[in-house]
Structure 1
Amino acid sequence: MVAATDARLLAELAGTAVDANILTTWTLSPQAPYPFGLQPPWKDMHVVPPGHCLIFNTDGTRPCIEQYWCPPAPDRDAQESRDRLRERMIEAVRVRAERSDALSCDASGGIDSSVVLALAARERNDTTAFTTGPAALFDEETSWGRVIVDATGVERWKTAGPDSFPHVFDRIDETLLRTDLPFAGEPVKMRSRFIAEAVSAATSGTVTTHLTGHFGDELFSSGVAHLRDLGLRRPLEVRKRVELLHARTRIPRRTLMKWATSRSSYHQSLQDFVRDGHTAPGWLSMESSIPPWVHYREETRERLGSQLEHATVSPLGTTAEQHETLSRLITSGSILRHESQIMAPAGIFVDAPFGDDRVVDAVLRSPIGKLQDPSRVKPVLLDAIGDELPQAIVNRTAKTDSTAAIWTGLTQNASRLRTMSTNMLAAQRGVVDEGMFRASLLGPHPPSLLPMSLWRTLAVEAWLRDNEGVRHQISVDPIGVNYP
Structure 2
Amino acid sequence: MADDTAILSYASGRTWVVADVSHSRLIATEAGARRLALFGETDAEAGRLARLLDRYDDVDDLMAAAHDLAGSFHILYTDGRSCYVQGSASGLRQVYYARREDTRTYAVSDSVELLARLTGSTPRIDMVAWGMVHPGFDYGLTEGAYWTGVRRLPADQRLRVTRDRIERSTWWTPPPSDLSIREGAPRLRAALDEAVTVRVATADGLSADLSGGMDSTSLCFLMAEQGARFQSFVEQTIDPNHDDAHWAAIAAKEIGRDLTVLRPEDIPGPYDGLWDPVEGLVQSVPYGLGEPYTLIRNRTRKIAMSRIFAATGATVHIGGFGGDELFTVAPSYFSDLYATSPLKAVRGIRDLARLRRWPLPSVLRALARQQSYAGWFEEQLHGLSLPRPDTIGPTVNWGPRLRVTPWSTAAGAEAIRSLAHAGDSGRTPQAPTRSVHTSIAGQRIGGQRLVPLRALMQHQGILLSLPYMDDKVLEAALAISRAQAQPGRGFKPALKAAMRVDASKTALSRSTKGEFSMSVHRGLARNRKALLGLFEDSLLAEHGLVDIDRLRSAVRDTMRPEYETNALELTVAAEAWMRAVAERAAESPPVASGAPDARPDGPLTNSPLTNGRLTNGRLAFPC
TM-score (norm 1): 0.88
Q: Is the 8 A contact 2:405 2:564 kept in 1?
A: no
Q: Which has the larger radius of gyration?
A: 2
**Cα shift at 1:423:** 1.4
Where do 1:285-434 residues align within 5 Å?
Answer: 285-297=399-411, 298-307=414-423, 313-434=427-548
Q: Is the 8 A contact 2:180 2:484 kept in 1?
A: no
SS of 1:374's partner is coil
AA aligned opposite 1:13: L
Alignment pair present for 1:78 and 2:181: yes
Give the distance between the partners of 1:56 and 1:182, measured in 2 at CA. Answer: 28
AA aligned opposite 1:29: H
Q: More deviation in 65-74 or 128-137?
A: 128-137
AA aligned opposite 1:383: A
SS of 1:350's partner is strand
Structure 2 residue aligned with 1:134: 237
Structure 2 residue aligned with 1:8: 113
Give the distance between the partners of 1:278 and 1:49, measured in 2 at CA. Answer: 28
Alignment pair present for 1:464 and 2:578: yes
Give the distance between the partners of 2:350 and 2:137, measured in 1 at CA. Answer: 28
- For residues 190-209 of structure 1, give each alpha carbon's deviation from its aligned partner in whole angstroms, at most 9, with x where no partner exists: 121121111122x2xx2422
Alignment pair present for 1:177 and 2:286: yes
SS of 1:260's partner is helix
AA aligned opposite 2:300: M
Larger strand proportion, structure 1 or 2?
A: 2
Q: Is the 8 A contact 2:128 2:574 kept in 1?
A: yes
The answer for unaligned runs of 5 or more in structure 2 is 1-98, 101-106, 276-281, 387-393, 586-623
Q: Is the 8 A contact 1:222 1:371 kept in 2?
A: yes
AA aligned opposite 1:166: P
From 296, 304, 308, the equivalent of 1:194 is 304
SS of 2:234's partner is strand
**Cα shift at 1:286:** 2.5
TM-score (norm 2): 0.69
AA aligned opposite 2:522: T
Q: CA distance change for structure 1 residues 78 and 92 in 2, over 3 Å: closer, same or farther?
A: same
AA aligned opposite 1:245: L
SS of 2:496's partner is helix
Q: Is the 8 A contact 1:213 1:354 kept in 2?
A: yes
SS of 2:421's partner is helix
- For residues 92-124 of structure 1, give each alpha carbon's deviation from its aligned partner in whole angstroms, at most 9, with x where no partner exists: 111211111212222221111100000000112
Q: More deviation in 398-407 or 35-44?
A: 35-44
Structure 2 residue aligned with 1:53: 158
The answer for unaligned runs of 5 or more in structure 1 is 472-484
Q: CA distance change for structure 1 residues 364 and 100 in 2, over 3 Å: closer, same or farther?
A: same
Structure 2 residue aligned with 1:438: 552
Where do 1:137-152 residues align within 5 Å?
Answer: 140-152=243-255
Larger helix proportion, structure 1 or 2?
A: 1
Give the distance between the partners of 1:83 and 1:400, measured in 2 at CA. Answer: 29
SS of 2:206's partner is strand
Q: CA distance change for structure 1 residues 387 and 29 in 2, over 3 Å: closer, same or farther?
A: farther
State the number of aligned residues. Answer: 463
SS of 1:66's partner is strand
**Cα shift at 1:327:** 1.3
Give the distance between the partners of 1:83 and 1:386, measured in 2 at CA. Answer: 9
Percent identity between the two aligned chains? 23
CA RMSD across the alignment: 2.6
Give the distance between the partners of 1:138 and 1:257, measured in 2 at CA. Answer: 35
**Cα shift at 1:272:** 2.5
Structure 1 residue aligned with 2:374: 267
Give the distance between the partners of 2:566 and 2:577, measured in 1 at CA. Answer: 16
**Cα shift at 1:410:** 0.4
Q: Is the 8 A contact 2:329 2:439 kept in 1?
A: no
Q: More deviation in 127-136 or 91-100?
A: 127-136
